[in-house]
Amino acid sequence: GENVEQHPSTLSVQEGDSAVIKCTYSDSASNYFPWYKQELGKRPQLIIDIRSNVGEKKDQRIAVTLNKTAKHFSLHITETQPEDSAVYFCAASGGTYKYIFGTGTRLKVLA
């Protein structure tokens, strides 16, 4: 069935360093890949997304890359700040009516 693997499950970085979270999807029909940030006690909120006809997208300190051949997509956060500390989820959509989520990455930015 459809599956999205996400790594790492936890990630600690020093403030100002970069963070990279990687996801792999199984359904080759997937064509839309959102990333969500969930702060403690809050709902997941979209931070960036990418469609299958684009290889890279950037929004200030956040970027996402997509390799359709390898079925990989990654989130890159540069110049990390303490407020970036949260759980990040990747997702894949398009093959079915469902959004298939990764298991999440807990990012800690150390001041």
Partner 1 sequence: NAGVTQTPKFQVLKTGQSMTLQCAQDMNHNSMYWYRQDPGMGLRLIYYSASEGTTDKGEVPNGYNVSRLNKREFSLRLESAAPSQTSVYFCAGGTPGNQPQHFGDGTRLSIL
Q: How far is the CB of 2 from partner 1 (least distance, A)?
A: 11
Q: How far is the CB of 46 from partner 1 (least distance, A)?
A: 4
- Judged by beta carbon, residue 18 or residue 46, the one nearer partner 1 is 46
- Cα 37 to Cα 65: distance, rounded to the nearest angstrom: 17
Q: How far is the CB of 50 from partner 1 (least distance, A)?
A: 11
- Judged by beta carbon, residue 80 or residue 104, the one nearer partner 1 is 104
- Please state, as a whole number, how many other Cβ atoms lie within 10 Å of the Cβ of residue 46: 10
Q: Which residues pair with 34 in a beta bridge?
A: 49
Reading phi first (left if > 0) and then psi (alpha if -120 to 50, else beta), residue 55 is in alpha
**Are the C-beta atoms of residues 38 and 102 closer than 8 Å to each other?**
no
- Judged by beta carbon, residue 36 or residue 73, the one nearer partner 1 is 36
- Judged by beta carbon, residue 43 or residue 83, the one nearer partner 1 is 43
- Cα 49 to Cα 45: distance, rounded to the nearest angstrom: 11
Which residues contact partner 1 (rule: CB under 8 A)? 31-32, 34, 36, 42-46, 49, 89, 91, 93-99, 101-104
